Structure 1
Amino acid sequence: MANLFEQNRNYVLGDEELNLIGDRDKLAQWRHKGMGPAFYKLGRKIIYRGADLNAWAEANRVDPSKEGAA
């Protein structure tokens, strides 16, 4: 698996790299609905770990060659 995010880095809202998966509003919607990558909420600050972002991205990976094969 190729890492899209640095494994040992913490990302906070406003970090440009987070736009890869969604803008600030989309991430807020996912948090509200209990979807999206795992995060920490420390007071009003939202923190995403790179390892969690990579795990979430891998879990949502689509392989077109395996689509429809059952």
Structure 2
Amino acid sequence: MLTVYLGLMIYAAATMAGLRRYAWVLGSALVLQVGLGISNVLAMLPLALAVAHNAGAALLLMMVVVLNFVLRQETAG
């Protein structure tokens, strides 16, 4: 469900000229996170992949917060 929501958020940001870069970075972080999650399942949770998956989640959260901040600035100004 979260992947679908983020996909819609990326699509919406990609349609706005000033937010295309943010959409690209957020989309890349989402693909990285999904790839790491699948790798974790297939490799039976090795520690290095689990830590990378957690770091990817932190990156994804940070990008969502940044995009929300930028969107609020766009609508307020």
Is the pair's TM-score, using the shorter chain for normalization, greater than 0.5? no
Could you say which structure has the larger radius of gyration? 2
TM-score by length of 1: 0.36
Relative to total residues, which structure has the larger strand share, 1 or 2?
1
Which of the pair has the greater relative contact order for Cα pairs under 8 Å at 6+ separation? 1
TM-score by length of 2: 0.34
